[in-house]
Structure formats: structure tokens, C-alpha cells
Chain A
Amino acid sequence: MQSQGKVLIVDDEISIRRALHSSLQGMGFTVEDASTGEAAVDLVRQAEYDVLLLDINMPGMGGIRACREIRKSLPRLGILMLTVRDSEEDKVAALDAGADDYITKPFHVRELAARIRAAVRRSCASAVEPNAVIRIGNIELDPARRLVRKGGEPVHLTPKEYDLLHDLMAHAGLPLTHARLLRAVWGPEYGGELEYLRTFVRQLRKKIEDDPAEPAYLLTDSHIGYRFAEAKPVTVEENA
């Protein structure tokens, strides 16, 4: 079977490393593991990985610091944080440290595999031309012409709405924190104006969702931020 990607598991608990190792290998991933943040920093320098599964709570360096350290030298590596506490602060801290996504322990392996695949796709997509047209479901965004179509029909967006949608679609499948979105779209002096962001998301949903009350694309990660639904195996052409 062709490998779905090379994964490095970093967790201080041997039982979790063993279970993850066997399960992910069984699902077609190439797997290696490490027990500390320090070991992970060393390993990623020596070998190339697609995705890093990094536990937040580890003795020594800890997951967040390891993530920040690794992100400095490897901006494209997919990093997925594992957290045992269902704490929003931890998740936001992980995303701020440069992680692509997080998953709360315990999890179903299928969900983990889906997140890993999304991270792999992102690390590959980053290499692609930044002005390439993004198609997800029946939404199409053309960065070169700043144009958005839904089911082939142009959608009129304000410049801020467009910037917000572009940022979300460019990172489809991954959570973007409120603060990150505010800074990216409105400027570095923003970060705490949640109601502002919520209003724009509501407007955007009215324009791109079939049913704004049941969003299929622009999803909320409660208390964390928003994520654009992952690319589905339907193309614009098929849908049209």
C-alpha cells in the first residue's frame, strides 16, 4: 500500500504511542515516534515528515514550546496538537504557537486520520502558486481577480468579506483563531473584537451558504475561531 504520509508521534505516554503507532500504520501511514519535545525538535531536523502529532502536556520542553521551535525552521510541516484537557485556552495557545489543528484526547482514529490528511494536503498546497483558484464544494474563489462564485454565479462581497473568506478558504479544514482572523483581515492592532468578526461571519454565511442557520462551509469552532469545511470530492464543474 502506498503511504498516506509520514507521521511523527510525540507523546510521553508509551501506551498512547503504541496504540497510535499500530492504528495509524494499519491505516496506511508511515509512523515514527518520540517521547519528548526535545527529541522531536532533533528528529524533524534529521528527517522529513508530513505531519507531526504533538502532545501539549509533556515534561521538559512541552508541546507548545516544541511547536514554536519547530515552526521557526519548518513553516510547511503539518502540526497537529493533542490535548487532554478540553480547555479553550490550551487550544488557542497551540494554534497561536503555529499548530495547524488540535484534537482532544480521547479521539476516534478515523477523526484523527481525517485531520492528518487535511494537514498533509495543506503542507502540499502551500507550495502551490498563491494565486491559484480555490474550489471547495460549489464555492470558487479566484485570488487574481478577487472574484467569488457560488454554483457558477458571482457573489458580491465587500473587500473585508472577501479577505476573510480568502483567508479561511486558503486554510480549508484547519481552524483559524478569532485573533488571527481579526489581525489578518483588519490589521495587527485588532484581536479582541469578537462581535465584529461574528457580524462579518453572519453576513458571509448569508451570501455563500444554502442555509445560513445550518452552515455547510463556514464552520464555528466554539470559543476558538472558524474553519472552512474541507474540500469535498465534488468539483465546481460537476456541481454546475
Chain B
Amino acid sequence: MDGKIEVVTGAAAESTVADKAKLRADFRRAARAALGIGRGCVGGLAAVALVTFCAFRLHLNLSTTGSLYFLIVVMVAVIEGFWEASVTSFVAVNCLNYFFVPPVLTWRVSNPQDWVALATFEITALTVSRLSTRVQAQTRAEARQRMEIEKLYQLSRRILLLDRRRTIGPQVVALIQEIFHTESAALFDATLARLDSTGSRADDLEHLARDAYFQDAALQGKSGHASAQVLRLGSRPVGALALCGSEVGRLTMASIASLAAVALERARSFETESRAEAARQTEQLRTAVLDSLAHAFKTPLTALRTASSGLLEAGRLSGDDLEMAALIDERAEHLNRLTTELLQMAKIDAAEVRLRQERISVLTLIEDAVETNRERLHGRRIEVSDIAPHLDVWGDRQLLGTVLEQFIDNASKYSTPGSPISVVAEENLGEIVIAVHNDGPPIRAADRERIFERFYRAEESRYRAPGTGLGLSIARKAAEAHGGRTWVISEEGAGTTFFFALPRGARAEIRRQSGAVAGQGTDR
């Protein structure tokens, strides 16, 4: 942004200085052109002198000498150009008049027909010169165009071969300088806010490129052949390119700019691809670690649990021995549940990278969760209200199931024994809301939000039911991974209801910042 401010504030002060510099430059250019024409005429004039001398000594007639002059003028036009041919033709017509038109060795013309001959000679010479120069210029332009196309082709080919692991900017400017023989080149990458340049006038060009981007317009440099072009992808500007010291046509400049924009875009997509690949590998690694952790913990737990339950089932124990075996069995089971839930939590963290989303009927989701929990219900009835069969959600079947399983498990643990648990689902303001209700003592207001924290267990529930303090936090994380939310309403005499809301229909946005929705769903 500094450059832009500098350009705006300094513009007025610099304008007169710039005008003078431009005037001087124009003058120098005109002088250089005149000098060039002078040099180009030397050969033609020498030839005219030679022909004049020979023709005069050999007494050649007017028409023969005129043809020889005409030949010289045409050759000068072909070799040097129109202006040189014009000067030569002017000198030739005067020589013709002085030496060959009677009366000779005077500037006078006695016969009016000779006036016509001289005028015809001059007009024909100028016309032919003009035509031949034009053809010449056209041929030169075509050659230059062909060369630029070849260079552009070379640029496009080599842009494809750039090392995408290295920063792309310096490579692109070096390539343009090498192929188009520019004095300097500068590239402004707007996404990275990065300037790369090469050559002796790198600093000036960097400013020019940056100004072109911020003014969103093609700019000409103050001196020399410097120009800058905005790089666009579609209509979106992605940077700017400035070149100087080479006569690059406007169309070619636009093509170079397009290729540079494509190079930047390719680099960007490669970067995105690499990041996605890294994320995938991280996820794979995490899955592998989780699997081996599961194996490492569950194997000794299996031996422990098999041995303890085997001791109990064999029926040979009594008294303290029986109690100790039962204690080992119970604690081994607790450790197993803790391990399972910790692994589940880690898996949900991993799911922030990738959810296996599919369309799931809400009714099926509830039925599955009920079936999974049936053994832990201890005789409590689950009443599922009539749920519209068309109600469905997008999500990971296993994770969404986990939310409901945790709610139902929680309800069966803390409800009044024998009381039913009810499950209701309905659509409300674009969300699918599922509620699991149970009768029983209320959750203290201070605990209603904290019970969703990892390892937090409300004071009174610690002694009422076994648990790890992970279940509800798993439920919340699983819901949030789907862009959903969870909350609880609990009142004395009215029981406790856990809610789970999911956005309807569309694939859920995966939320990395779980805290973003954590506060919204709390009890009021």
C-alpha cells in the first residue's frame, strides 16, 4: 500500500519534471531518427553520384539515366526505408534536371514535356518506395509476431515444467527475462503479497507492478519501454507483471500476463493439493495410531476380564476371594469403558478432518441407538414418538448414532427406576431436533453446561451411577462435527431433556472450532 500512497501524493509535484524529461526524450528520439536517415542515405547518394558521373561522361540519354536513378531509389527503399529513398529520389531528380535535361548544366527546363518527365519520375519513385517499404514493414512485423509466438509457446511449455515445490514468482520472472530478453521483469503475487523481480531496474518495476495491481489498470513506465499489466484469472485480479527493455507488443504482453497468471494459479492449486494430501496422511497416521492403541489396551484388558469373569463363573470362590474377584472384574470393565470412550473421543477429533457423510433417516438412527442401548436399559421402556418417515439428515451414521446412544445411556442411568424414556424428533426452523426425555431428579443449574465438558461429573451423580465423565462430551463433539448443537433442559418435577439439533438437508459444514457453537445450546 505504501507505493500507492506515494504515487498519489507525489503526482502533482512530479508532473512538470516528467513533462520536461518527456520533451528531452522526444527530442533525443527525433535526433536519433534523423541521424539514422542520414546514415541510410549515404549509400544511395554515393550511387546517384556515380551514375551521374558515368552517364554524363558517356552521354547517356535522359530516359536511360532516369531508369538507372529509379533503380537506385527502389533499392534504397528496399534496403533502408521510405525516408532514405525520398531523399535519394529528390537528389536524383535534381541531378537529372541539372545534367541531363536541356539546357544541360542549368536548373532551367526549356521543354514543358521534360517537366512532365521529371514530375513522373519523382512521383513514381516515391510511390514505389512507399509500397516497397510497406511490404517490408509488414514482413518484418510478421517475422516479429512469429518470433513472439514462438517465444510465448516456449514460455508456456517451460511454465509447465517449473519446479512447483519451490516458490513460483522468482522462477517466472527469470524465465520471462531469459526468453524475451527483457532488461528487467517484476511479478506481484497478490495472494501472497509477494514481489519478485530480476534485472538492473528491478526496484522501479516492482513499484510499477504493485501500482498496476492496486490501480487495477495497465500502466506505462515513466521512461524506456517499461509497462505493467494486471494478471487476471477470469475477471479476478491475482497480481501484476511489469517488463522493461524489450519491445514486446501489447498483445504479447497480455499473453505473457495470462501465462504468468496460470503459473500462479497452478502453484496455488498444487499447494492446496499438497496440504490436502498432508491432512490425509495425518489422518491415516492418526487412524493407525488409534488402532494400535486400541489393540495395545484391549488385549491385556481381554485377558484380565476373561480371567476375572472366568474365576467368578467357575463358582469355586467364596467370601473375600469372591468379592476380590468381583472387584477386579468390575474395575476391568470400567477400564474397558474408559478406553473405549477415550478412543471414541480421539476418533471424533480425527473426524474433524473427514466425516463419512450419507443421508440417514432419523427414524432409523433412533431405532439403531435404542437397539444398541437395550441391554443397558435395565427394564426401562423407551417410547419413540411417531416420527415422519421422510425426516432425514446428512451425516456420519456412526457418529450421529453415538450422540443418541450417549443421551439414551445417560437417561437410563439417571432416571427414576421403572420410569419410561421418551424420544421425540421434529423439524424446527430448518433444523432436525431430537430430544431424549427422562423423569428423575434435576441437574443443578451450575452443572447443566459443565456436564458436557470432558471428565466432568456432577457432584451427586458421581455416587449414583458408574460413568467416565466422557459420554456427554463425546455426544457434543460428535454433534458439533456435523455443525449441530446439544443442550439440556432440566427442572424439578419436569424431568430432564437432552436436545440434539442438526441442520436439515444439506451436507454439514465441518466445524474445526468446536467452541464456536458450544455456548449456544445451553439451558435457559
- Residue numbers of A with Cβ under 8 A of B are 13, 15-16, 18-20, 22-24, 26-27, 57, 84-86, 88, 105-110, 112-113, 194-195, 198, 213-214, 219-223
Contacts and interface: CB of A to CB of B under 8 A. Distances in A.
Given A23-B313, A220-B367, A223-B368, A106 B307 contact: no
B313 A26 contact: yes
B291 A26 contact: no
Nearest to B405: A222
Query: For the complex, would chain B's binding face be called helix, strand, loop or mixed by DSSP majority?
Result: helix
Contact of A84 (B298, B312, B314): B298
Which 9 pairs show the lowest CB-CB distances between chains A and B?
A: A23-B310, A26-B314, A15-B303, A19-B306, A106-B305, A220-B371, A106-B302, A105-B302, A109-B309
A110 B306 CA distance: 9
Given A23-B309, A23-B313, A26-B314, A16 B303 contact: yes
18 contacts: A15-B299, A20-B306, A20-B310, A23-B307, A23-B309, A26-B313, A84-B299, A106-B306, A106-B332, A107-B302, A108-B305, A108-B309, A112-B306, A198-B367, A213-B384, A221-B371, A223-B397, A223-B401
Interface string B341-374: 0000000000000000000010010011101100
Interface residues of B, number: 39
Contact of A19 (B295, B310, B312, B382): B310
Contacts of B299: 13, 15-16, 84, 105
B340 A107 contact: no
B218 interface: no
A109 B381 contact: no
A110 B303 contact: no
Contacts of A222: 368-369, 371-372, 401
B309 A84 contact: no
B364 A198 contact: yes
B60 interface: no
B87 interface: no
Contacts of A112: 306
Contact of A18 (B291, B303, B371): B303
Given A27-B314, A213-B383, A214-B381, A85 B364 contact: no
B145 interface: no
Contacts of B309: 23, 107-110
Contact of B340 (A15, A86, A113, A195): A86
A105 B300 CA distance: 10
